[in-house]
């Protein structure tokens, strides 16, 4: 399969960066401090904004303070945060104006995790505070495509979580799913054109008009 695209829009956690151990540690600490079942939180948190997850467990008037508390825990724990396979090569091959990141995490935290993993911070980074509605709503991906100056239908979204896949599909973009944080069975049937183990299953060729992704 060959996918021609004007730009590639990446999720960060679980797509570019393996931060799962740190994410689970900090959510567990937070949940225990608030008397919430950690397993129940982790079952619904991946790929979503922290405040959207927290709102499922705490009253509205406590959500923002609790989200700020969680972010401080996350910023203090980057142990084991590493780049996922082939992500450095992919980003290095793409010109700055041909890629962006769209994340459910906060901007400060995402910049920290990218730097810890040795990956570049894109010129266009749409973070949790940049949208009024998080994934699976497509707002983040639509904002990123517009900021780069491309039609979303001409963009490729790379995602690891069901909420993100749904967001990419809803934006009109072509979506590639990577099974780096979820079982393949959890990602199939959501509208992605393909599900791969990780980006080592793909080859990227840049062209004057964009890029071509080939599934090996």
The residue segments making up the domain with residue 165 are: 2-19+80-215
Q: Give me the residue label for tokens 């967001």.
A: 167
CA dist list (Å): 110 to 3, 58, 102: 27, 24, 10
* C-alpha–C-alpha distance, residues 216 and 203, integer Å: 7
Region of 191 please: left (phi>0), alpha (psi -120 to 50) or beta.
left
Question: Do 193 and 148 have their domain in common?
Answer: yes
> Can 77 be counted among the known catalytic residues?
no
Question: Do 55 and 160 have their domain in common?
Answer: no
Tokens of 27: 């959510």
Q: Which of 6, 11, 18, 160 is catalytic?
A: 11
Q: Which of 6, 13, 18, 160 is catalytic?
A: 13
Query: Could you say which of 75, 95, 117 is where a domain stops?
Result: 75
Identify whether the C-beta of residue 53 lies closer than 8 Å to the C-beta of residue 134: no
Tokens of 134: 């998080």
Question: Do 26 and 107 have their domain in common?
Answer: no
Residuewise pLDDT in 10s, the chain (216 residues)? 999 999 999 999 999 999 989 999 999 999 999 999 999 999 998 888 899 999 999 999 999 999 999 999 999 999 999 999 999 999 999 999 999 999 999 999 999 999 999 999 999 999 999 999 999 999 999 999 999 999 999 999 999 999 999 999 999 999 999 999 999 999 999 999 999 999 999 999 999 999 999 998
Question: Do 15 and 94 have their domain in common?
Answer: yes
Question: Do 148 and 66 have their domain in common?
Answer: no
End-to-end C-alpha distance for the chain, whole angstroms: 8
Question: Do 140 and 86 have their domain in common?
Answer: yes
Q: With helix as H, strand as E and coil as C, how does 89-136 read?
A: HHHHHCCHHHEEEECCCCHHHHHHHHHHCCCCCCCCEECHHHCCCCCC
Query: Could you say which of 75, 91, 110 is where a domain stops?
Result: 75
Question: Do 176 and 122 have their domain in common?
Answer: yes
Give the residue from 4, 198, 187 showing the smallest Cα distance to 90: 198
Query: Could you say which of 75, 92, 119 is where a domain stops?
Result: 75
């Amino acid at each position: 399969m060959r996918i021609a695209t004007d730009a590639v829009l990446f999720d960060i956690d679980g797509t570019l960066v393996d931060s799962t151990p740190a994410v689970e540690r900090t959510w567990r600490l937070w949940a225990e401090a608030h008397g919430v079942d950690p397993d129940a939180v982790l079952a619904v948190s991946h790929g979503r904004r922290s405040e959207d997850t927290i709102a499922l467990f705490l009253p509205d008037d406590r959500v923002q303070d609790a989200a700020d508390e969680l972010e401080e825990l996350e910023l203090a724990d980057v142990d084991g945060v590493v780049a996922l396979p082939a992500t450095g090569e992919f980003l290095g091959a793409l010109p700055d104006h041909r890629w962006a990141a769209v994340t459910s995490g906060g901007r400060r935290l995402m910049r920290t995790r990218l730097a810890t993993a040795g990956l570049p911070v894109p010129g266009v980074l749409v973070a949790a505070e940049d949208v009024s509605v998080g994934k699976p709503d497509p707002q983040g991906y639509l904002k990123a495509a517009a900021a780069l100056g491309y039609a979303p239908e001409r963009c490729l979204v790379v995602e690891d979580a069901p909420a993100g896949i749904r967001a990419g599909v809803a934006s009109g973009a072509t979506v590639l799913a990577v099974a780096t944080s979820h079982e393949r069975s959890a990602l199939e049937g959501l509208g992605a054109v393909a599900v791969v183990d990780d980006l080592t299953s793909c080859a990227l060729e840049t062209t004057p008009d964009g890029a071509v992704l080939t599934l090996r």
